[in-house]
Structure 1
Amino acid sequence: MHEFLPYAWFEGKCIPFKEAKISIATHALHYGTAAFGGMRAIPNPTNKEEFLLFRTDKHIKRLSQSAKLLLTDISEEYIFKALEEVIKRNKPQKPIYIRPFVYTSDLGIAPRLHNIETDFFMYCIELGDYLSPDGVSCRMSSWTRQEDRSLPLRGKISGAYITSSLAKTEASLSGFDEALLLNSSGKVSEASGMNLFIVRNGDLITPGVDQDILEGITRASVIELAKSFGINVIERPVDKTELLIADEVFLTGTAAKITPVKKIESSELNGDRPIMNKLKSKLIEITEGRSQDYDNWVTRISLK
């Protein structure tokens, strides 16, 4: 049962979540002509009157850029105004996930992006662990990750997530927690909604931005943290067989945070993950507002 917070941003103002309704004829509902974001926010462990958001500026910038791919302009200032008002109005007491959404709100039937009305909404939901922190099992999906030449993969375009949905359900119905997708070149791209990292011989390796991945914000944060620890980071194509012999395999994402992979298909993976654990510990420290050197990664919003 989803626990939606009582207030949402809809059509330019903060209103009760239950009153935020769209027509069944809404263009984005039919054609996937929308872009969304996802942000986590938690109560400050030392001040319950303050909420902490991780890398808000990066999330807002990506959403604004995603909207431009749909020929829609929405300013970063406007998105933050809505975000701040929604959090202050809801006064959450538990960790939440925030979903901002830019969409074609027109009621026309032609699949297009020109001469069409657009709008923006935002809502929040209580969210703990999206994936088990103890680790997940994965299968290689029979579905292939889309190519940037067919979809603008630099943005979080809602229509693109049909592939993720098919892959996730295929994995779940065949007894696995998560799916890993190959790209059209047969290289590992990403999971259904997460980026992937492996560790081999002390190097942290992840598919590069040329492998049809989403440019994940948690991914970029992990890369920056790893470099600060003196860990060699390599962005390059990754083969399926590398996953099976890697020293560590883990997933990253806003919802998933840092989640270890413990099994891929029939292969049990190494359970010793010193590099992942070091990165995860630091990321938790940062998101809880306990790291002075990365305090600029945290946005503090007072609930007073």
Structure 2
Amino acid sequence: MATIAKPVSYSQSWTFFEGEWHEGNVPIMGPRTHAAWLGSVVFDGARAFEGAAPDLDRHCERVNWSATNFRLKPMVDTDTWIGLAREGIARFKPNAELYIRPMYWAQNGSGGGVLFDPETTNWCLCVYEAPMPQPTGNAITLSPFRRPTMECAPVDAKAACLYPNNSRALIEAASRGFNNCLMLDMLGNVAEFGNANVFMAKDGVVHTPAPNGTFLNGITRQRVISLLRGDGVTVVEKALTYADFLAADEIFSTGNFAKVAPVIRIDDRQLQPGSFYTRARKLYWDFAHARKLAA
């Protein structure tokens, strides 16, 4: 039986909202806030761990890209996001393992409420303790839930309203004893895990689903592809089926929360953390540590 992680109800947290830092879980959305009622939220998530914050700039840039694509109004430039993130990190003990979450949301709607008003865009930046998961390995299966297309959902943004379906997928997988699951796109090809991007290796080549507009082309995903290719590994982005993963030599995930993590079982087939996973994780950790936060 797979071990299912329990939700964390609280950890030390600092949030910059309306011009100042607040400690704890700050109530920033009420029942009439459009975002709380109808899900008009975009966000991003950077990591600080072991004194480093890899790709912080790219995460801060992407939240503005998400806001623009979602038709919210970006209010904060990238340099300001980065500066606030560093201020927030400095409020924690050195080398704390942190999650950095810039957010935009619509405060008010118009008409019947479904249409939000971009001019009421609000924002905050939350930094909180979130220990890095240990790379003990996940047991995975195929989810009955699928990723949407552009016509069905705002897949061109890191939008909060996309995540409940992924949560349903993870809950369903957990009910069958799995930590995670592979989700297909509408054509039946593998898109991603319920909470991360996916890689597999077969016959000395690393493969990963080609971004096709149904899932987020993650920043950690892009970084790992670049690092592996720079280290001489062949990485192929293409359409992949669930059968491809069932026959894989190894499978691993990339994502901002856990970074690079192995898969140790797919359905009833046991796997071992493989050489490409080990290489990818080491390359990423070396990259991250080369970008230490300024004192």
TM-score, length-normalised on structure 1? 0.87
Deviation string 1:48-76 (CA, Å, 9 cap, x unpaired) is xxxx2110111111111001112222321
Deviation string 1:102-143 (CA, Å, 9 cap, x unpaired) is 11122766112345511111222222233x512100111111
Matched residue, 1:134: 136
Which deviates the most, 155-164 or 208-217? Answer: 208-217
AA paired with 1:127? A
Q: After superposition, where does 1:50-129 map in structure 2 within 5 Å?
A: 52-71=52-71, 72-74=73-75, 75-91=77-93, 93-106=95-108, 110-114=113-117, 116-129=119-132
Deviation string 1:230-259 (CA, Å, 9 cap, x unpaired) is 111111000101111111111110112111
Query: Does the CA contact (< 8 Å) of 1:5 and 1:92 recur in 2?
Result: no
AA paired with 2:58? K
Q: After superposition, where does 1:197-236 map in structure 2 within 5 Å?
A: 197-210=199-212, 212-236=214-238
Which deviates the most, 196-205 or 11-20? Answer: 11-20
Work out which of the residue numbers 177, 185, 192 in structure 1 matches 2:187.
185
Matched residue, 2:198: 196
Residue 246 of structure 1 aligns to a residue in which SS?
Answer: coil
Matched residue, 2:293: 300
Shift in Å at residue 2 of structure 1? 4.3
Residue 285 of structure 1 aligns to a residue in which SS?
Answer: helix
Matched residue, 1:27: 34
Matched residue, 1:294: none
Query: Does the CA contact (< 8 Å) of 2:170 and 2:180 recur in 1?
Result: yes
Paired with 1:78 and 1:188, the residues of 2 have a C-alpha distance of 37
Work out which of the residue numbers 231, 237, 240 in structure 2 matches 1:238.
240
AA paired with 1:238? L
Query: Does the CA contact (< 8 Å) of 2:30 and 2:36 recur in 1?
Result: no
Matched residue, 1:157: 159
TM-score, length-normalised on structure 2? 0.90
Aligned length: 285
Deviation string 1:253-272 (CA, Å, 9 cap, x unpaired) is 01121111111122223x15
Residue 209 of structure 1 aligns to a residue in which SS?
Answer: coil
Residue 253 of structure 2 aligns to a residue in which SS?
Answer: strand
Paired with 1:19 and 1:277, the residues of 2 have a C-alpha distance of 39
Paired with 2:154 and 2:199, the residues of 1 have a C-alpha distance of 23
Matched residue, 1:279: 280
Matched residue, 2:257: 255
Query: Does the CA contact (< 8 Å) of 1:56 and 1:299 recur in 2?
Result: no
Work out which of the residue numbers 164, 173, 176 in structure 2 matches 1:174.
176
1:102–1:299 distance in 2 versus 1, CA, 3 Å = farther
Residue 217 of structure 2 aligns to a residue in which SS?
Answer: coil
1:101–1:58 distance in 2 versus 1, CA, 3 Å = same
Shift in Å at residue 175 of structure 1? 0.8
Query: Does the CA contact (< 8 Å) of 2:218 and 2:255 recur in 1?
Result: yes
Matched residue, 1:10: 17
Alignment gaps of 5+ in structure 1: 45-51, 290-297
Note the aligned Cα RMSD (angstroms).
1.9
Matched residue, 2:48: 41
Identity %: 26
Deviation string 1:173-231 (CA, Å, 9 cap, x unpaired) is 22110121011000000011100001111111100111622110110011101111111
AA paired with 1:284? W
Matched residue, 1:48: none
AA paired with 2:99? Y
Paired with 2:118 and 2:125, the residues of 1 have a C-alpha distance of 24
Residue 87 of structure 2 aligns to a residue in which SS?
Answer: helix
